[in-house]
Amino acid sequence: MIVRVRVVGCDAGLAGRAKVLDQRAAAARALSALGLVDPPRIPDGPPLPAQGTHWSVSHTQGAAGAAVAPFALGFDLERARELRPELVRRFLSPAEPALDPLVAWTAKEAVLKKLGLGMAGLSRCAIVARESNERLQLRFEDTRHDVLLQRNGVYYAALSHDGGPATAVQWEWET
């Protein structure tokens, strides 16, 4: 079993609607390189599996990425930046391990996207342990979810999948 993740570059200088369209086009390129062209999605909602292939996309300034697998998965990508303390307090409690806020953000997003909830599930999701620089253990309600972390230059990526511990993850960075 394998999860493939691909990150491609896009124009970091755009703003507004042009930025959104450019980032979505980049995510579509990443998905297409992984073998999925225009898979089904709920508008402004979670992706739908296409013939047994689950997928997740994420966009940030200057890059977008996609992940595919034959089981549920969630992927998040963020560009390094300072997060305001009041924002950090909204998604990372003092009871959780002290992590780089952007790492915590991407990890929770990956789990919440895998579950198809997005931000609606934030208050029920917590980081339990930092197992290494590449792996965190999270909990959503009573269920454990592992998150794999990758950093490439200014980009932070997180992946959560339901393939189990024997699953290989192939990271492909074009940025």
Ligand X SMILES: CC(C)(COP(=O)(O)OP(=O)(O)OC[C@H]1O[C@@H](n2cnc3c(N)ncnc32)[C@H](O)[C@@H]1OP(=O)(O)O)[C@@H](O)C(=O)NCCC(=O)NCCS
The footprint of ligand X (CB under 6 A) covers: 24, 27, 41, 45-47, 57-59, 76, 91, 105, 108-109, 112-113, 116-119, 122
Nearer to ligand X, 41 or 81 (CB): 41
Nearer to ligand X, 99 or 167 (CB): 99
CA distance 42 to 143: 26
- For ligand X, which is the closer residue by CB, 151 or 165? 151
* DSSP summary character for residue 1: -
Nearest distance from C-beta of residue 99 to ligand X, angstroms: 12
Complex with ligand X: residue 42 or 166, whichever CB lies closer: 42
Helix and strand counts by DSSP (H, E) for the chain: 3, 9
Minimum distance, C-beta of residue 147 to ligand X, in the bound complex (Å): 12
Distance of CA 115 to the CA centre of its chain: 12
- Residue closest to ligand X, measured at CB: 118
Helices (H), the chain: 16-33, 85-91, 101-114
Taking the complex as a whole, how short is the minimal distance between the CB of residue 28 and ligand X, in angstroms? 9
Quote the least distance from Cβ 170 to ligand X, whole Å: 20
Contact criterion met (CB below 8 Å) for 155 and 136: no
Instruction: State whether residue 6 is helix, strand or coil.
Output: strand
